[in-house]
Amino acid sequence: MSTPRHVSRGWLGCAAERQVNIAVGLRGFGVVGSMGWQDYQGATTIGLVCKGGVVLASEKRVTWGNMLTSRGGMKVFKLNDRIGLAFAGLMSDMQALTREVAAYASLYELDNNRPIGVKAMGKLVANMLFQRRMFPLFMETLVGGIDEEGPMLLSMDPVGSLIPDPFITAGTGAPIAMGVLEAEYKEGMSMEAGAELALKAIKAAVARDIASGDGVDMLLITKDGTEERSISLRK
């Protein structure tokens, strides 16, 4: 399971992965040889904190083990004008969580007469994942956005560990993409530079990871709103 930079999984991370892989069998997926839950559906998903906002991006390919099931999967979701979610994992799980989180975000805004903040959204998602820890959702989650505290990016594993970082990769292509980000990410880079770097990192992963490819969906989130982009990688 990929982890954000500067974070050591240690004993707790290993224990969490063991529990998640046990739950794979309980949910009927099974584990074939060395194949864990991460191998059922691959992805390359990226988040970057930039000057004045956050970039979330992921490729479009959907796989099931060694089978390519779709070339147009959406793994990046807009929650509101200032917050987005990005995932690597099972499509059904990410869609279910997005629907539930969107409902909670709307209720929060109705109750408090203001949109939910990025940190509060991260804690909400982390709590929802932890509540399901015995039968977890098989995905890695990125929450990114901007509020009165500025741009913020948070990552979560399947059981809800909440970790902030200026740039994060997730999915089967994460190790390749992380190499590009480590070499070229600069604190305070512009949104356009961040979008170009995210695209470059995903292209590098697509070149080597067979579970990633076909196109890129991207959210550029600033105080002025959210811009959605879709880029084809098919020749």
Residue 5 lies in a domain: no
Domain CATH code at residue 184: 3.60.20.10
For the ranges 9-13, 25-29, 69-73, 161-165, the lowest mean pLDDT is seen at 9-13
Residue 175 lies in a domain: yes
Residue 83 lies in a domain: yes
Residue 213 lies in a domain: yes
| Mean pLDDT of all residues belonging to the chain | 87
Residue 4 lies in a domain: no
DSSP code for 188: T
Q: pLDDT tens digits, residue range 19-65?
A: 555 555 555 545 444 556 556 578 999 999 999 999 999 999 998 87
The closest alpha carbon to 101, from 48, 226, 118, belongs to 118
Residue 1 lies in a domain: no
Rounded to an integer, what distance in angstroms lies between the CA atom of residue 109 and that of residue 98?
A: 16
Does 141 qualify as catalytic in the annotation?
A: no
The closest alpha carbon to 198, from 148, 139, 153, 146, belongs to 153
57 lies in which domain range? 10-232
Residue 52 lies in a domain: yes
DSSP assignment of 191-202? HHHHHHHHHHHH
Rounded to an integer, what distance in angstroms lies between the CA atom of residue 48 and that of residue 63?
A: 25
Alpha helices for 35-167 (secondary structure H)? 91-112, 118-131
Residue 2 lies in a domain: no
How many domains does the chain fold into? 1
Total-model pTM: 0.85
Q: Which of 44, 45, 63, 98 is catalytic?
A: 44
